[in-house]
């Protein structure tokens, strides 16, 4: 029988057969778990579909995807992940797909709102930084963490829609590309690396600054790179644009759209948009504007009430 490990991540209690030292361990085994992760065999139907050339499928009850030479991942009902490893698979790489896409799909199946971006705490409340790949999400959250601000999540921020809305902790690790890591002064030979979708990422442990309890959501900031901007430009979004900015930045939302978005899920996004201010920072393309961003963030979010525009 395989050894099993108990973890807490994104507000979920997880029992896993794959060891994940990056994730917060539960002190004691639970009588029940929200999610069970195990090595096993996916269904014959999935194997036949892969053999025909298709490498993924998404429904609200069953999502699966195949990564060549790594593994096939089968996510069921927001409760179970089955991992069938390929022969000679790189286990650290297999684990990263588990901690990324698989947990994202779990949250989609459970109708949890998971925004693609990191969270930093200002004055006791969380600010989520979102945006497209390369927008600078991890750079600004890492810079803020190095400046002494507590860290909640790196790539995915799980929001519980309550009153107030709360952000669940992710796990105490950041992934940074070489350019961002070098610009922030990291000694790169001290850190493990992982090949991401397009470039090498450095895995930065952040236990000392990690927040282990959920925090209230204060605002969402979307980052954009813009060749027409000098320095940074900031605007507070209003109306439908605020809602659609939240919605399009849901982690793996394309999978939810394929599977079908139920009205209850969209209502959660509406609730967040109604209650939480959303800003957009446009930053100069190819220029390091972190200090300008931090100055605006500190001026806006420290020790003052934020007004919600209509």
In a domain, 307, yes or no: no
> Are residue 101 and residue 147 in the same domain, yes or no?
no
> Are residue 231 and residue 99 in the same domain, yes or no?
no
- Residue at a domain's end among 89, 109, 129: 109
In a domain, 90, yes or no: yes
In a domain, 101, yes or no: yes
In a domain, 189, yes or no: yes
β partners of residue 271? none
> Are residue 84 and residue 155 in the same domain, yes or no?
no
> Are residue 75 and residue 124 in the same domain, yes or no?
no
> Are residue 29 and residue 41 in the same domain, yes or no?
yes
> Are residue 157 and residue 260 in the same domain, yes or no?
yes
Q: According to the model, what pLDDT value does residue 306 have?
A: 64
Q: Model pTM?
A: 0.91
CATH number, domain of 250, equals 3.40.50
In a domain, 280, yes or no: yes
Number of domain units in the chain: 2
Q: Which residue in this structure is represented by tokens 């201010």?
A: 277
C-beta atoms surrounding 295 within 10 Å: 11
> Are residue 188 and residue 163 in the same domain, yes or no?
yes
Q: According to the model, what pLDDT value does residue 218 have?
A: 96
In a domain, 309, yes or no: no
> Are residue 28 and residue 117 in the same domain, yes or no?
no
Q: According to the model, what pLDDT value does residue 196 have?
A: 61
> Are residue 28 and residue 127 in the same domain, yes or no?
no
Q: According to the model, what pLDDT value does residue 93 have?
A: 86
Q: According to the model, what pLDDT value does residue 176 have?
A: 87
| Structural domain for 211, as ranges | 113-301
Q: According to the model, what pLDDT value does residue 252 have?
A: 86
> Are residue 91 and residue 125 in the same domain, yes or no?
no
**Pick from 48, 53, 42: nearest CA to 85:** 42
Q: According to the model, what pLDDT value does residue 284 have?
A: 92
- Residue at a domain's end among 90, 109, 128: 109
Q: According to the model, what pLDDT value does residue 11 have?
A: 96
Per-10-residue mean pLDDT of the chain, 310 residues long, equals: 92 96 90 96 96 94 95 97 96 90 93 96 96 90 95 95 96 88 85 73 90 97 94 95 96 83 91 97 92 95 70
**Pick from 34, 61, 260: nearest CA to 158:** 34
> Are residue 286 and residue 179 in the same domain, yes or no?
yes
d(CA 17, CA 6): 9
> Are residue 23 and residue 167 in the same domain, yes or no?
no
- Residue at a domain's end among 55, 78, 109: 109
């Amino acid at each position: 029988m395989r050894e099993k490990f108990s973890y807490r991540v994104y507000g979920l209690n997880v029992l896993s057969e794959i060891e994940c030292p990056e994730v917060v361990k539960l002190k004691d085994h639970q009588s029940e778990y929200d999610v069970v992760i195990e090595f096993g065999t996916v269904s014959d139907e999935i194997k036949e579909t892969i053999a025909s050339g298709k490498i993924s499928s998404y429904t609200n009850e069953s999502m699966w995807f195949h990564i060549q030479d790594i593994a096939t991942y089968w996510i069921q009902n927001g409760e179970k992940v089955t991992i069938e490893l390929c022969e000679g698979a790189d286990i650290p790489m297999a684990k990263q797909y588990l901690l990324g896409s698989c947990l994202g799909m779990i949250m989609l199946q459970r109708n949890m709102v998971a925004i693609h971006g990191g969270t930093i705490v200002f004055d006791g409340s969380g600010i989520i930084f979102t945006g497209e790949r390369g927008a600078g999400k991890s750079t600004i959250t890492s810079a803020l963490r190095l400046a002494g601000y507590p860290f909640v999540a790196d790539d995915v921020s799980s929001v519980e829609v309550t009153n107030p809305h709360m952000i669940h902790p992710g796990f105490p690790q950041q992934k940074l590309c070489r350019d961002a890591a070098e610009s922030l002064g990291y000694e790169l030979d001290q850190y493990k690396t992982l090949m991401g979708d397009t470039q090498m990422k450095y895995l930065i442990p952040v236990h000392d600054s990690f927040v282990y309890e959920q925090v209230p959501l204060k605002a969402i900031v979307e980052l954009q790179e813009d060749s027409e901007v000098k320095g940074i430009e900031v605007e507070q979004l209003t109306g439908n644009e605020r809602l659609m900015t939240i919605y399009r930045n849901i982690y793996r939302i394309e999978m939810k759209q394929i599977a079908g978005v139920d009205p209850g899920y969209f209502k959660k996004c509406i609730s967040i948009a109604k209650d939480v201010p959303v800003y957009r920072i446009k930053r100069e393309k190819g220029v390091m504007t972190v200090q300008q961003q931090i100055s605006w963030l500190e001026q806006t979010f420290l020790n003052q009430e934020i007004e919600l525009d209509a």
